[in-house]
Chains A and B, each alone.
Chain A
């Protein structure tokens, strides 16, 4: 059906027009203007994702190199919805902002600095940053999208367009869900264990003790160790045949753990190495945060008869929530991406894939197996997960994080 793309674009144009017209009506603006703007935005949102792939999931391939299934069409619909969100949501947001721009209640509270008067200079100052971001972050992102629709190998010149097969084949791939599970498990453990231990250590180290500076230095230095070196050092400790860890465990408890060849234990080897490496950073921030907890609050709680643990739970922890929030985000990023070097040296993703995270999988696919298309597709899913997590974090931040009174 040659007209399917046209019908889809038309439908989304109407949806966009309707939604934005409704927004404009509520704001008391010209409904017709809203309709036109919304229609354009709706069409653009659809075309943003659909033009590059030529609506392939809604029409059979003339050369039959790929087949279209229900999963492909659902995926296409999701892309269209995402495209619409990308254009319509900012439009709605902008319209609302416009309506309130002169309302003092919503005026920006930013300190107004003395401004230099030039329209040209700021762009000169920003140009290097913007150009580099555009060339080395935005362009590769778009290229990753393009690659994800191809059958492409690192060692061959030819490529073939396969629509969204690289994505939809994952629906039936239980191995992939295993990798997602492994990633989430390892990341959760790194973040949770890392933060709890760091907070515990920080509550000791922030106090004005004799030698506090020395303690702090001795606690935080692993932050500067590279993930790869962490992998190398823990390879020495966890080695099944000569590792000191098992030597101790065997001597003390008579047990030996297959740190690197038991799928139940190997993730813990990665987690221990990663927590060790990242803890310094967390401790540093918690120490700073704890030093900042107002003492009058603690005192008030003490007068109320609260004991130390209660005080800590009900007063200190809530006050630390902005730092915790910040650390959760940096630790998730660390667990998702920076553990790569540790895993590469320590376990190589094994045994039985028990330490293969999404990032490691992308590397295995793209470099080791030289399958650029599938690696790109999985990169994009990983990308979507990062954005999703960030949005969830930002939305919960407003509700949970306690910034004091």
Chain B
């Protein structure tokens, strides 16, 4: 029997064939097909959704309503909104986060494209050493180095600037590998044709590679956007100027250690702060998956 090479991630077309193998079975008409799957998924979605759903309810409630465990929208949405937006200016933190997340995402994509191009379409001395140099950084989580990184970034005079939140994160081993894998799987005829046309490497990148790499770019963009948006410990260390602080720091001002835990504004802030990354992730879901599928081929 001939077996195909199994790759970790899907060619989606196969999914529809699954139904063929189900033995026909009697079921009452009112039951949807695979009713058990629907029930389990319903339960799973409900359980996964409950924390956020409850947080949204609490976001509209006053403290007394929270302790009364009312599963209805409360009466304090306007008050909570006033605290979150007018007093604590959560939106200014969010604007900073959007800027940083977009800058890192864009910069990282460009640098990763360039290094992917260099690794796949060039032969140069010491390629394996350079590749190893990049490879090893996969095992160096920034979190471990933050104390030293903090000192170094300060010594550059970048403390409490956007530069400190952007530049150290522009290079990415993950991104480099993603594009290197992706480019390696592109038929060689493409680059040969481009060379025959006399295209420069940059022209080739922009006119040929980028248009067929949108899924990979999308996948990387999702990861990076979510990663940067959710960055916590590094901004807490490096960003001391309130006007440049990011959303995860802004949330901390809603918690207030000394102040009583007032859950309404806290939850409203948490919900608002989660909208952009969730939106990006859900909207780019398809790109995310297919980008990875290509990356994990071979």
Interface residues, chain A, CB within 8 Å of chain B?
A: 110-116, 118-119, 121-123, 125-126, 128-133, 135-141, 143-144, 147, 200-201, 204-210, 215-229, 232-237, 239, 242, 244, 247, 276, 279-280, 284-285, 287-289, 291-300, 302, 319-320, 322-323, 326, 333, 336-337, 340-341, 344-345, 359, 362-363, 366-367, 372, 375-376, 379-380, 382-383, 386-387, 390, 402-405
Using a CB-CB cutoff of 8 Å, which residues 1-19 of chain B contact chain A?
Answer: 1, 3-12, 14-19
On chain A, the residues within 8 Å of B51 by CB distance are 233-234, 237, 276
Q: Please measure, in the bound complex, the distance between the C-alpha atom of A162 and the C-alpha atom of B57, giving whole angstroms.
A: 54
When A224-B281, A341-B233 are in contact, do A114 and B115 touch as well, CB less than 8 Å? no
Q: Please measure, in the bound complex, the distance between the C-alpha atom of A131 and the C-alpha atom of B133, giving whole angstroms.
A: 11
Q: Is the CB–CB distance between B183 and A144 below 8 Å?
A: no
Q: Is the CB–CB distance between A292 and B8 below 8 Å?
A: yes
Q: Please measure, in the bound complex, the distance between the C-alpha atom of A87 and the C-alpha atom of B4, giving whole angstroms.
A: 41
Residue in chain B with minimal CB distance to A344? B232
> Which 3 pairs show the lowest CB-CB distances between chains A and B?
A404-B6, A226-B230, A132-B171
A208 contact from B19, B137, B188, Cβ within 8 A: B19
Known: A208-B18, A322-B7. 4 other contacts (CB 8 A): A114-B121, A122-B119, A129-B171, A219-B48
Partner-binding segment picked from B77-85, B88-96, B210-218, B267-275? B267-275
Q: Is the CB–CB distance between A233 and B270 below 8 Å?
A: yes
On chain A, the residues within 8 Å of B258 by CB distance are none
Minimum C-beta distance from A66 to chain B (A): 21
Q: Is the CB–CB distance between B143 and A340 below 8 Å?
A: yes
What is the total number of residues of chain B having a CB less than 8 Å from a CB of chain A? Answer: 115
On chain A, the residues within 8 Å of B232 by CB distance are 226-228, 340-341, 344
Q: Please measure, in the bound complex, the distance between the C-alpha atom of A228 and the C-alpha atom of B229, giving whole angstroms.
A: 11
When A137-B140, A140-B148, A229-B270 are in contact, do A363 and B277 touch as well, CB less than 8 Å? no
Bitwise, B136-162 to A at CB < 8 A (1) or not (0) is: 010111111101110111000000000
On chain B, the residues within 8 Å of A205 by CB distance are 37, 41, 44
B278 contact from A147, A225, A239, Cβ within 8 A: A225
Cβ of B24 within 8 Å of any chain A Cβ, yes or no, is no
A interface majority secondary structure: helix
Minimum C-beta distance from B14 to chain A (A): 6
Q: Is the CB–CB distance between B14 and A292 below 8 Å?
A: yes
On chain B, the residues within 8 Å of A390 by CB distance are 139
Q: Is the CB–CB distance between A288 and B229 below 8 Å?
A: no
Minimum C-beta distance from A169 to chain B (A): 18
Bitwise, B267-298 to A at CB < 8 A (1) or not (0) is: 10010011001101110010011001100100
When A137-B140, A288-B10 are in contact, do A204 and B44 touch as well, CB less than 8 Å? yes
Cβ of B167 within 8 Å of any chain A Cβ, yes or no, is yes
Minimum C-beta distance from B122 to chain A (A): 4
Cβ of B118 within 8 Å of any chain A Cβ, yes or no, is yes
On chain B, the residues within 8 Å of A139 by CB distance are 148, 152
When A111-B188, A128-B171, A228-B230 are in contact, do A141 and B18 touch as well, CB less than 8 Å? no
Cβ of B120 within 8 Å of any chain A Cβ, yes or no, is yes
When A116-B121, A129-B176, A288-B289 are in contact, do A232 and B5 touch as well, CB less than 8 Å? no
For B10, B190, B255, B267, the residue with the greatest tally of chain A CB atoms inside 10 Å of its CB is: B10
Q: Please measure, in the bound complex, the distance between the C-alpha atom of A232 and the C-alpha atom of B90, giving whole angstroms.
A: 16
On chain B, the residues within 8 Å of A247 by CB distance are 69
Using a CB-CB cutoff of 8 Å, which residues 36-75 of chain B contact chain A?
Answer: 37-38, 40-41, 44-45, 48-49, 51-52, 54-55, 58, 66-67, 69
When A228-B232, A288-B293 are in contact, do A295 and B278 touch as well, CB less than 8 Å? no
Cβ of B20 within 8 Å of any chain A Cβ, yes or no, is yes
Minimum C-beta distance from A246 to chain B (A): 10
Q: Is the CB–CB distance between A237 and B54 below 8 Å?
A: yes
Q: Is the CB–CB distance between B140 and A141 below 8 Å?
A: yes
On chain A, the residues within 8 Å of B18 by CB distance are 207-208, 295
Cβ of B241 within 8 Å of any chain A Cβ, yes or no, is no
Cβ of B195 within 8 Å of any chain A Cβ, yes or no, is yes
Some 18 contacts from A to B, beta carbons below 8 A apart, are: A114-B121, A115-B121, A116-B121, A116-B195, A122-B124, A126-B114, A126-B119, A218-B45, A224-B281, A236-B55, A279-B48, A284-B285, A285-B8, A288-B9, A336-B141, A337-B144, A390-B139, A403-B5
On chain B, the residues within 8 Å of A143 by CB distance are 148, 151-152
Q: Is the CB–CB distance between B229 and A115 below 8 Å?
A: no
Q: Is the CB–CB distance between A232 and B270 below 8 Å?
A: yes
On chain B, the residues within 8 Å of A131 by CB distance are 171
Residue in chain B with minimal CB distance to A375? B147
Cβ of B224 within 8 Å of any chain A Cβ, yes or no, is no
Q: Please measure, in the bound complex, the distance between the C-alpha atom of A11 and the C-alpha atom of B191, giving whole angstroms.
A: 53
Residue in chain A with minimal CB distance to B226? A224
Residue in chain B with minimal CB distance to A318? B6
On chain A, the residues within 8 Å of B9 by CB distance are 285, 288-289, 292, 323
Cβ of B34 within 8 Å of any chain A Cβ, yes or no, is yes
On chain A, the residues within 8 Å of B184 by CB distance are 110-111, 113
Residue in chain A with minimal CB distance to B138? A390
Q: Please measure, in the bound complex, the distance between the C-alpha atom of A235 and the C-alpha atom of B274, giving whole angstroms.
A: 16
Q: Is the CB–CB distance between B118 and A125 below 8 Å?
A: yes
